A = this chain, B = another copy of it.
Amino acid sequence: MWVITLTTDFGLRDAYVACMKGVILGIAPESRIVDVSHSVSPQDIREAGFLLAAAWPYFPAGTLHVAVVDPGVGTSRRPIAVVTEHGTFIGPDNGIFCPALQAMGRIEPQTGALKGAHGVELTSEDHRLKPTSRTFHGRDIFAPAAGHLATGVPLEHLGGAIDRVTTLDLPGFRRRGRTLEGAVAHIDGFGNVITSIPGRELPPEPVIRIGDATIQGLAESYQDRPLGALVSSGGFLEIAVRNGDAARRLGVRRGDPVEVLEAP
């Protein structure tokens, strides 16, 4: 029994996701397939990477994570699989796995060199659907790779080893004197604003500047304050509006700056 997760921008109207599941179940009938999201904004590699980085810590270590946000499908971008002790990642080498691999310390942030992880380029013709389309590698390359790995095919049968993967310039945080500087990393479906500043870096009495607002201190729950800051379920500084949409209230978008000062 293997768990296989899927993260795509294919949406839920079409049959694309179902085709991938059919291919997987045809090869590995006992696998359990879990959707992470198929509503990633079209071609938004960063959003998919954020979601996968949010999800993997809660899955069994042997889980196969397939992610297909793939504007470069059919070009020279490589199809890859990367095995770590926390899970295996299968998809295009376009940076989509960078947030997850960086969070688990399995790549050098600057170079993308793998550390304590094994990667291959998925070149094996024997482990693809035939004919292989130029436009749907999710179905023709990535789903079969997941299926074969789930049935016990060794990683090295799927292609030649790689030693680095493509990275993204992820929103991070830095200290400038007594100020922490970060950015909006994600806006969730409730409108909650999740930043790139880890909760463990926050001072005891933070003063947060974001959009047109200044927020004093941390809230205890979403109900605590009309506009509150708290540590998100993923461990980062989050801004929320009680029963409302914080991103709209603050007028912020992904990438916008966030500052945290220590109360004087």
Q: Which residues of A contact B (CB under 8 A)?
A: 1, 3, 5, 10-23, 25-26, 29-30, 32-40, 42-43, 51-52, 54-55, 58-60, 63, 71-75, 133-136, 139-140, 188-190, 220-224, 230-233, 238, 243
Contact = CB atoms under 8 A, between A and B. Distances in A.
Contacts of A74: 220-224
Contact of A26 (B21, B60, B135): B60
A192 to B, nearest CB: 9
Main secondary structure of the interface of A (DSSP, over half): loop
Contacts of A133: 231, 233
16 contacts: A1-B29, A5-B18, A13-B188, A13-B189, A15-B36, A21-B34, A22-B34, A22-B59, A26-B58, A26-B59, A71-B223, A74-B224, A134-B231, A135-B230, A135-B231, A136-B233
Given A25-B59, A29-B1, A71 B222 contact: yes
Nearest to A10: B189
A246 to B, nearest CB: 12
A222 B52 contact: no
Contacts of A221: 72-75, 134-135
A113 to B, nearest CB: 27
Contacts of A1: 29-30
Contacts of A136: 233
Nearest to A42: B190
A175 to B, nearest CB: 25
A232 B135 contact: yes
Contact of A230 (B12, B134, B190): B134
